[in-house]
Amino acid sequence: QQQVKQSPQSLIVQKGGISIINCAYENTAFDYFPWYQQFPGKGPALLIAIRPDVSEKKEGRFTISFNKSAKQFSLHIMDSQPGDSATYFCAASSKAAGNKLTFGGGTRVLVKP
């Protein structure tokens, strides 16, 4: 019940295109859903996060869409740039889960110029 499933595993998009990454969870107690961006040799960096009382959150070119009934959430990267090439992780947590973040398996995004 702690699992977070992420897809696709990898994604190639042209510069200016839209990257879409999807995650699904099972534990209905999860109440915090962050996305992290990781570049090679670096630790993951918090990109954007959402709570289940909102259906969408936008920060710059990054948007999270959240569907509570389907237990799914997704990250959209608009106007993708070569600098966005990185691995993206979705995650979920709850106080009941002891504060730990449960991560999806990651999506490697490559933006071609």
Q: Decide whether 40 or 113 has the Cβ nearer to another protein.
A: 40
Residue 99 token pair: 């504060």
Q: Are strands 19-25 and 45-50 parallel, antiparallel or unpaired?
A: unpaired
Q: Decide whether 22 or 94 has the Cβ nearer to another protein.
A: 94
State phi, psi for 12 to the nearest 5 degrees. -120, 130
**Binds another protein (CB under 8 A): choice among 12, 46, 54, 78:** 46
57 binds another protein (CB under 8 A): no
Tell which residue, 32, 3, 19, 4, has the closest CA to residue 86. 19
Which span sits near another protein by CB under 8 A: 19-27, 64-72, 74-82, 103-111?
103-111
**Binds another protein (CB under 8 A): choice among 62, 66, 104, 111:** 104
Q: What secondary structure does DSSP assign to 38-64, as a single string?
A: E-TTS--EEEEEE-TT-SEEEETTEEE
Residues that bind another protein (CB under 8 A): 31-32, 34, 36, 41-46, 49, 51, 89, 93-95, 97-106
